[in-house]
Every structure is written in C-alpha cells, then in structure tokens.
C-alpha cells in the first residue's frame, strides 16, 4: 500500500472512531431519558391549543395532494384552531381541481387556497406566512402524510421547552417502502431519527424537514421568512435559527410519512440537490464553525458536517482503490495469461495464513461495524419499528452498498457544482 494512503487510512480510522464513539457515548448516556420519554408518550399532550396554520406548497402534486390534505384534515386538534393553506405553486396538472374538490367536501374546515406563478417552495411558504393566522405554522410537503396525534405531540415539545424554541421537527419515516432504494432510505431515515433525537438534546439540530416541521410564526417573520433562492430552504432556516440562538427541538413520537425516491435516478436528483444546498448553506454560515459562541453546534456539529463533506470524496476514492482496482488487476492478469483458467485452477491451493491479514485494521473496522449495527438496532427500537419488517435480504446491501452509492451521488453533485451545472428546478421557473 502506498505510504500516503496508508497514513490517510489510519487518520480516517481515528476520525471515524472519534465520532462513532461520541454518538454511542451520547446515546448510552441518554438511554434512560429516552426510555422514560417512550413510557410517557401517551401523556405527552399540550395544556393549551393555540392557533396553528398548516401550509402545503404544491407543485404538480395531483397524485399525492388528496391523501396529504386528508391526513391534515384528520389531525386530532380543535377545528377552529386549525388553518390549512394550500399554495398552488403554478401547477400545470390537476392539483388545483383536486384541492378545490376536497375544500368543497370539507366545508367545516378552514382551508384556504392561494395561487402563485411557479416561484418555488420558499416563495410559496413566504406568501402563506404573510397571510397565515397561526401562532405556529407547520410546513408540509405535498407528498407527505401525518398521523392524527402529530400536532399535539409537537406542541407539547414547544410547551416543555423554553420560549426560545423556534422549531420542532417531526419523526419522519418513509411511506410504504416498496423498491430496494426505498427500503434503504427507510433504514437511513430511522437512523436519522435517532441522531435527530440526540442532536435535539445537544441543541445542534440544523434542518427543519419539509414534512411537517412546526415553526413559531413570529420568529420566522422576525428573521425574514424563508430564503427563496436557497436549494434547501428548510436547512437554511435551521442554520439561521442557530445563528440567532434559537433552539430547534425534535419530537420523537410525532410521525410523518413521506414518499421517498423509488429509483436511483430519482434519488440522485433529490440527494444532489440536498448535498449542494447543504454545502452552500455550510459555506454561508461558516462563521459559526468552531465558534464557541454557538456551543456544541459550532464546536462539534459543524466540524462533523465539514468532515462529512470531505469523507464522501475519500469513500469514493477508497472504494476504487480497495475494491474496484484489485478486481481490475485480477481481470488484467487473467487477460495476460490468455484467460487460461484451467492452468490457474489446477495449480490452485487452498491455504490460510493469518499474518496476511492486518488484524489491527480489522479490529478497528469491526469496532466501527459493531457501532453501526448497535445504531441500526437502537434506531429501530427508538422509532418502534421491527428490524425485519421489510425483509432482511436488503440489509447486507444497505451496509455495503448504500452509503457508497450516496458518496458517488455527492461527488457527482460536487462536480456539477464546480462546473456550474446546478439543478435549480426546485427554485421554480419564474426565478
């Protein structure tokens, strides 16, 4: 092995170990708190019922808006205190007629329909925030569906927290995973839920997911609303809240289900936007990095995010170096000997020499794998999901393949960003 790569791998092992140990340490330190929270889940209800607006930006969402809107209508909350605003973001399909039909058949609900040219999600949210009457507002992507108890559980988090809690994020799960890619994302989302729970304890959350994050309206208005030119406006608002010392909290039992990408192509489009947006937001708020004024978020979380950006390049490099290259070499050697497999097979001897394996590296990698598996099981437990609910054959592929696939997507997104081929579709056609 090349000396530079040798050193690089050892450095990566240490960094990987440090962050993995941190998360495991934090998890076990809070294990009792999490268990107590689970036990008291049924009694986690707010004492008062403030006015809440649910804003649903919709762009060509005819296939999902009915179920989305219906799930909001079924939310367990006093009807007079719930306002629903659908913002039609210049849809060219039947979104408008589907929404009108639901409005007609639910005249008892306070549902408002707004229309705008296709300006993007950020602009749609800002238009609705200007009009909404809620003390709190929830943003809900039109391809997501909520559980009836979600609002009360999230309001409870506002109540139990301090007044500087400005955003409560939901527990987001993948809606009816069918394809392999969706099953991968299901596990990924469950692990993210566990991490969000921890980040919430460290006041280091920095993303308010599109599906049903709940905001304190006056704070968002005071900070100028959403950044309409941002690829990941739900993350940008999170960073801004951190910058202005507001808290983001996570509601572990407020479940929302979102339709996730079904194919690699769809996943690529979604994740390249997320990664590019995330990187741009990181750069926008780089002044927070290692800044003790921002506590754990500045000192630990932002460096962790930064290392994550660098790691994707290393993952792709290591994948080629340690996996693809040896296979290529074997194939080339096979070519050099005229693909004479008979001679090679006849001289093949099965032998085992333990010293050919670097047991030190294996020890570290197995430790990391152990942490990964512990996280995997605890994430399912925390989200009250069965480990093998959707089979188990996809799980080895998830551990071996999924994160490499994501790393490839991120590297391509980085290249596209560098050559100026960024996908701005998210921002709307009118921008």
Binding residues for another protein (CB under 8 A)? 1, 3, 6, 10, 13-14, 17-18, 21-22, 25-26, 29, 162, 164, 202-203, 245-247, 292-300, 333, 336-338, 340, 343-344, 346-347, 353, 355-361, 363-364, 367
Query: Which pair of tokens denotes residue 385?
Result: 């999901």
Distance from C-alpha of 236 to C-alpha of 234, rounded to nearest angstrom: 6
Nearer to another protein, 40 or 343 (CB): 343
User: What pairs with residue 256 in β-bridges?
Assistant: 146, 172
Name the DSSP letter for residue 234.
H
Pairing of strands 165-174, 144-146: unpaired
- Please choose, from the candidates 66, 65, 48, 35, the residue with its C-alpha nearest in 3D space to the C-alpha of residue 252: 35
205 neighbors 301 (Cβ within 8 angstroms): no
Least distance from C-beta 21 to another protein, angstroms? 5
Least distance from C-beta 343 to another protein, angstroms? 5
Nearer to another protein, 18 or 377 (CB): 18
Nearer to another protein, 27 or 181 (CB): 27
Least distance from C-beta 400 to another protein, angstroms? 21
Nearer to another protein, 86 or 364 (CB): 364
Least distance from C-beta 277 to another protein, angstroms? 25
Nearer to another protein, 338 or 391 (CB): 338
Nearer to another protein, 286 or 429 (CB): 286
Collapse the DSSP code of 289 into the 3-class scheme (helix H, G, I; strand E, B; otherwise coil) and give the result. coil
* Torsional sign, CA 367, 368, 373, 376: positive
Nearer to another protein, 290 or 393 (CB): 290
Least distance from C-beta 203 to another protein, angstroms? 7
User: What pairs with residue 270 in β-bridges?
Assistant: none
Nearer to another protein, 45 or 293 (CB): 293
Residues 6+ apart with CB under 8 A from 407: 311, 312, 313, 315, 316, 319
Least distance from C-beta 103 to another protein, angstroms? 40
Nearer to another protein, 94 or 296 (CB): 296
Cα distances (angstroms) measured from residue 116 to each of 7, 61, 66, 277: 55, 15, 20, 24
Biggest CA–CA distance in the chain, Å, is 82
The contacts found for 376-382 with CB under 8 angstroms, 24 or more apart, are 376/187, 376/191, 378/27, 378/194, 379/187, 379/190, 379/191, 379/193, 379/194, 380/190, 382/34, 382/190, 382/193, 382/194, 382/197, 382/252
Residues 6+ apart with CB under 8 A from 374: 24
Nearer to another protein, 1 or 310 (CB): 1
Least distance from C-beta 212 to another protein, angstroms? 24
Least distance from C-beta 353 to another protein, angstroms? 7
Nearer to another protein, 29 or 80 (CB): 29
Least distance from C-beta 26 to another protein, angstroms? 7
Least distance from C-beta 159 to another protein, angstroms? 17
Distance from C-alpha of 310 to C-alpha of 319, rounded to nearest angstrom: 15
Pairing of strands 144-146, 247-258: antiparallel
Distance from C-alpha of 405 to C-alpha of 384, rounded to nearest angstrom: 27
Query: Which pair of tokens denotes residue 401?
Result: 């393949």
Least distance from C-beta 269 to another protein, angstroms? 36
When computed from its CA atoms, the radius of gyration of the chain, rounded to whole angstroms, is 24
């Amino acid at each position: 092995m090349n000396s530079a790569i040798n050193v690089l791998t050892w450095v990566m092992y240490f960094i990987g170990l440090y962050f993995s140990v941190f998360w495991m340490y934090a998890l076990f330190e809070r294990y009792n708190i999490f268990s107590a929270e689970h036990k008291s889940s049924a009694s986690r209800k707010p004492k008062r019922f403030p006015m809440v607006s649910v804003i649903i930006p919709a762009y060509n969402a005819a296939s999902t808006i009915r179920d989305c809107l219906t799930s909001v209508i079924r939310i367990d909350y006093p009807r007079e205190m719930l306002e629903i605003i659908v913002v039609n973001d210049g849809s060219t399909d039947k979104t408008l007629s589907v929404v009108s039909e639901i409005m007609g058949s639910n005249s008892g609900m306070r549902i408002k329909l707004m229309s705008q040219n296709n300006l993007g999600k950020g602009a749609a949210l800002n238009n609705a925030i200007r009009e909404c009457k809620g003390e709190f507002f929830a943003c809900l992507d039109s391809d997501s569906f909520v559980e009836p108890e979600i609002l009360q559980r999230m309001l409870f988090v506002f109540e139990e927290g301090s007044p500087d809690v400005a955003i409560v994020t939901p527990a987001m799960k993948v809606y009816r995973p069918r394809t392999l890619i969706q099953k991968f994302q299901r596990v990924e989302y469950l692990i993210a839920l566990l991490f969000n729970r921890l980040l919430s304890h460290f006041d280091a959350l920095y993303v308010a997911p599109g599906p049903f994050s709940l905001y304190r309206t006056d704070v968002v208005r005071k900070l100028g609303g959403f950044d309409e030119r941002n690829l990941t406006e739900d993350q940008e608002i999170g960073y801004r809240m951190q910058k202005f010392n507001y808290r983001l909290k996570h509601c572990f039992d407020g479940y929302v289900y979102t339709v996730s990408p079904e194919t690699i192509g769809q996943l690529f489009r979604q994740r390249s936007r997320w990664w590019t947006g995330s990187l741009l937001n990181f750069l926008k708020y780089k002044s927070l990095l290692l800044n003790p004024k921002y506590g754990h978020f500045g000192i630990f979380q932002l460096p962790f995010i930064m290392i994550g950006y660098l790691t994707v390049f290393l993952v792709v490099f290591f994948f080629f170096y340690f996996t693809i290259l040896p296979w290529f070499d074997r194939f080339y050697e096979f070519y050099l000997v005229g693909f004479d497999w008979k001679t090679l097979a006849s001289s093949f001897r099965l032998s085992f020499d333990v010293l050919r394996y670097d047991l030190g590296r294996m020890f570290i990698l197995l430790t990391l794998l152990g942490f990964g598996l512990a996280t995997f099981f605890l994430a399912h437990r925390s989200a009250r999901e069965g480990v093998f609910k959707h089979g188990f054959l996809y799980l080895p592929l998830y551990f071996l393949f999924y994160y490499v696939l994501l790393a490839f997507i991120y590297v391509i997104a980085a290249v596209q960003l560098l050559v100026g081929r960024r996908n701005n579709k998210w921002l709307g056609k009118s921008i």
